[in-house]
Amino acid sequence: MCENPKRNIAILGSTGSIGTQALDVIEQNQDTFGVEVLTARTNAELLAKQALKFKPNAVVISDESKYKWLKDQLFDEGIKVYCGEDALASICEMEGIDLVLTALVGFSGVRPTMAAINAGKHIALANKETLVVAGDLITKAAQEKGVNIYPVDSEHSAIFQCLAGEFHNPIEKIYLTASGGPFRGMTRDQLAGVKPKQALKHPNWDMGAKVTIDSASLMNKGLEVIEAKWLFGLRPDQIDVVVHAQSILHSIVQFEDGSMKAQMGLPDMKLPIQYALGYPNRLKSEFPRFDFMDYPSLTFEQPDRETFRNLGLAFEAMNQGGNMPCVLNAANEIAVEAFLKEELGFLEMSDLISECMATATFIEKPSIADYIEIDAEIRRSAKEILSRQKA
């Protein structure tokens, strides 16, 4: 990290849920953070507003059809405007960036995150799919470049916080907590008729549509399990999931002596975002404080893997290794997209993912080119399955 007291941040995905909250954190800590780069996929209007407010050095819009409009909006401000996926990756190499917050959704985060690491930039990672898809290559590159990866997901941030001062002590096991989503306790018969509007109502967290659907199906927790494997160098048998409906205790580390450490707090993504951006310092905040009297009891239960099959599929992909997590992720992205369009039922998402995993060609040690090809191939395959089902 640079010695300058003001840390210059690039936010990849600044118009999404994590990106907008990160800008709120930066606005409350203007003496600590500066905004160097902002990027968006298609929301040029919000990106323009953010750029006019935070005055970054450069912005990138992935949707090339929005480029001219955005450039015209920012012409008088001297803000550089770029467009396209190549620009999104190359912008991460900009000299003035100290930390890259990867807040993109899905597979799109892999290439720019790898580019940032290769350029020696430290990473605040909110794009779990990057490690799900290519965790072996990402973590190896980070080690070779001396780059730190600071987790932003609340569960992984909790583990990271519990390990502060404990990095020399081996982990025996970790427990990732799950809220259970809006359908906790429901049967398969009840879930069969679930619509997107119902699935988008998460009881505790305010997230984007894709992540919210993943949370409802427990795929989000499955992806987090695979992410944890790579972040903390764990074996699959060292990772477990418990349902904690209140979302107060964010995750637990169990050490070899049997003692356990947990991180607690109200469900607010700004806290782990601020911790990742400011690490190793805990910055003063005005976030709401936890009151034990508001939560007189905290409950824990086993997840229902038979009803919510996605969690089991994620463990299966992690155990198989190789390209299988990439297959899982690509199939899930197509499944969620189809569900949101009401082209696929809630339970049928698991069926589609399972079929893609069963028919995919297994590659034990994929290259980054392999991952890109596999991702595209599985997306085509999943769409073909959907087309056959409609016929």
pLDDT of 25 > 50? The answer is yes
Crossing angle for the helix pair 219-231 and 154-162, to the nearest 10 degrees? 30
| Distance of alpha carbon 6 from alpha carbon 285, whole angstroms | 17
pLDDT of 223 > 70? The answer is yes
pLDDT of 5 > 80? The answer is no
Out of 1.10.10.10, 3.40.50.620, 3.40.50.720, 3.30.450.20, select the CATH number for domain 7-152.
3.40.50.720
pLDDT at 389: 85
Mean pLDDT of 9-15: 97
Show Cβ contacts of residue 147 under 8 Å, excluding neighbours closer than 6 positions.
117, 120, 121, 122, 123, 141
pLDDT of 205 > 80? The answer is no
Sheet with 239-243, edge to edge strand ranges: 239-243, 171-178, 249-255, 260-264
Give the tens place of pLDDT for each residue, 254-301.
999 999 999 999 999 999 999 999 999 999 999 999 999 999 999 999
Place of tokens 């012409």: 75
Do the Cβ atoms of 131 and 139 come closer than 8 Å? yes
Sequential DSSP letters for 155-185 = HHHHHHHHTTTTTTSPEEEEEEEE---TTTT
Nearest to 226 by CA among 217, 238, 216: 238
Sequential DSSP letters for 335-374 = HHHHHHTTSS-TTHHHHHHHHHHHHSPP-SS--HHHHHHH
For residue 105, name the pLDDT band (cuts at 50, 70, 90): confident
Query: By percentage, how much of the chain surpasses pLDDT 70?
Result: 98
Show Cβ contacts of residue 12 under 8 Å, excluding neighbours closer than 6 positions.
19, 37, 39, 88, 92, 100, 101, 102, 103, 104, 109, 112, 127
Q: Which amino acid is at 308?
A: F
| Core vs surface per residue 316-346: b (16+ CB within 10 A) or e | bbbebbbbbbbbbbbbbbbbbbbbbeeebbb
**Phi and psi for 134 in degrees, rounded to 5?**
-135, 45
Sequential DSSP letters for 90-140 = HGGG-TT-SEEEE---GGGGHHHHHHHHHTT-EEEE--HHHHHHHHHHHHH
Number of neighbours of residue 358 by Cβ within 10 angstroms: 8
Number of neighbours of residue 288 by Cβ within 10 angstroms: 10
pLDDT of 206 > 80? The answer is no
| Distance of alpha carbon 6 from alpha carbon 227, whole angstroms | 30
Nearest to 32 by CA among 41, 22, 40: 22
pLDDT of 374 > 80? The answer is yes
Query: 3-state DSSP call for residue 29?
Result: coil
